[in-house]
Structure 1
Amino acid sequence: MPRISARLERPRLNGPFDQYYRHAEQRMERGALIATDQGGKIALRNIRTAMQGAGLGRLGNGLGAQSDLSETGQVHRYAGGGFSASGVVFVRSGSPRTRGTIDAYTLGAEIQPVRGRWLWIPTDEIPRLAGRRKMTPDLYTKNGFEQKIGPLVRVRSVNGYPLLVVKNASVSLAGKKRSARALTKSGRARKGQVEKEFIVAFVGIPRTARAARVDVIALVQAVQRDLPTLYAQAMGRN
């Protein structure tokens, strides 16, 4: 993720005012530490807000912010003089799935199947999640949906792509989504349901593209432009 940095330099001064300038430089360092720490926190807050606004729910909780102030409390000094202070927004989640999702929605991505030839996309006929995980054919079987709805049968669509369907199931009479259920033991639809010869549970596709929804670079650059103001505010508090 992008880093927010500030670098300041001053000429080396000797003489009776050295103590004054050392104190002034310490204030400058502290101001830079506070400003970049605040900048990182503002950038994180803005990115999380943008993710929520883009319909990504709590995905932004997989991000974090840290800075030289929060990590060491010290600036980075350069051998030739001067120093820098930084704040950074980073992906803190250790979940490969979460990290990949954040990359996809902030950078864009082409998603291809990891195992097998097809990506299986659940339809609106079946539950979207199995527990807290996105529904897949494997999770469908492992979580008992073959008993709740019916076993999956692979067929070919008119475009040549595969479908996973459930034969002889039922759906909501009122047209409610994700309402598929198995028929009763007597082969009838349950109350409020209507029998269907088959329902499509999953659609197989070879790949899909995911467009970026949040421009993280633009959000961080906006905070970078505000760093002089944040620095001035920090110096006022010092």
Structure 2
Amino acid sequence: MVSLRADAFFDGRYFNLKEFYEGKLAVAETGLMKAAGIGAGVGRDRYRAHVQSSGLDPKLAKTVRGLVYPRPGVKTLSPAAFIYTKAPRILAAFESGGTIRPVKGSKFLWIPTENVPRLGGRKMKPLEVESRFGDFDLVPSLLRPGTFLAVVRARRNAKSGRVRSIIKLKRQPKKADRIVMFTLVKFTSLRKRLDIAGVERGLEAEWPEIVARSLAEAFTNEDRG
């Protein structure tokens, strides 16, 4: 019997072609995974910078994240960089602009003011505010016809500026601050402030260069090793 192997003879030595190509594929996987990591980081930073430069809240910019698939520990020749946001509806609204109206039968949009306390990292909802501070007084706005102000009776700390509830006090104070918690409007308009598609086009144009640079670095490191 004769065994035929796909080997190569070079410079006086035999090379196992299978092992040779498997080694090259492993190097390529390393380079491509690095490219995906760079792409995810660059994409995340570009999106965040774009959101901040538009004048939006820096906290909104930080909702943009970057991930690499597959997860660490697994290599592939076709990795992917995934850039996403935890606030897709908000960013989409500022990208397209337009008019926001109440839903589910509501007559007004309840827009929180800076006086609304935070609960679990977010501003309290109207029912939560009412539960803590008592019923709202709806006062027509003198400056914007058709707009109302949701006001509560409470106390504001002179030093910290925090608003404190008085509904559980045994003796109700004769004087209390009237605090505006929400502004009620029938609709609100958002002007277009983001160009997400433009950021994506820039990343897509830069991606081939990132891949080529990462592969070249991976094979250069292999040759040096």
The TM-score range, normalised by the shorter chain, is 0.5 to 0.7
TM-score (norm 1): 0.59
- Residues 1:203 and 2:192 are matched in the alignment: no
SS in 1 for 2:110: strand
Query: 1:201 deviation in Å?
Result: 1.9
The equivalent residue for 2:65 is 63
The runs of 5 or more residues in structure 1 that have no matched partner are: 1-14, 76-84, 190-194
- Residues 1:156 and 2:103 are matched in the alignment: no
SS in 1 for 2:163: coil
The equivalent residue for 1:217 is 200
SS in 2 for 1:120: strand
**Which deviations, in whole Å up to 9, do the C-alpha atoms of 1:103-123 show, x marking residues without a partner?**
446x35554433313221122
Counterpart contact for 2:41–2:66, Cα < 8 Å: no
The equivalent residue for 2:3 is none
Q: How far apart are the structure 2 equivalents of 1:89 and 1:109?
A: 25
Counterpart contact for 1:120–1:202, Cα < 8 Å: yes
Q: How far apart are the structure 1 equivalents of 2:120 and 2:41?
A: 34
The answer to which of 128-137 and 49-58 deviates more is 49-58
Judging changes above 3 Å, is the alpha-carbon distance between structure 1 residues 182 and 24 closer, same or farther for their aligned structure 2 residues? closer
The runs of 5 or more residues in structure 2 that have no matched partner are: 1-6, 10-15
**Which deviations, in whole Å up to 9, do the C-alpha atoms of 1:25-46 show, x marking residues without a partner?**
6267425523432323423552
Q: How far apart are the structure 1 equivalents of 2:61 and 2:48?
A: 10
Equivalent positions of 1:105-124 (< 5 A) are: 107=95, 109-110=97-98, 111-115=100-104, 116-124=106-114
Q: Considering only aligned residues, what root-mean-square deviation do their CA atoms show, in Å?
A: 4.2
> Size of the alignment, in residue pairs?
197
SS in 2 for 1:74: coil
- Residues 1:135 and 2:124 are matched in the alignment: yes
Larger Rg: 2
Q: How far apart are the structure 2 equivalents of 1:236 and 1:38?
A: 19
Q: How far apart are the structure 2 equivalents of 1:57 and 1:214?
A: 18
- The residue type paired with residue 228 of structure 1 is A
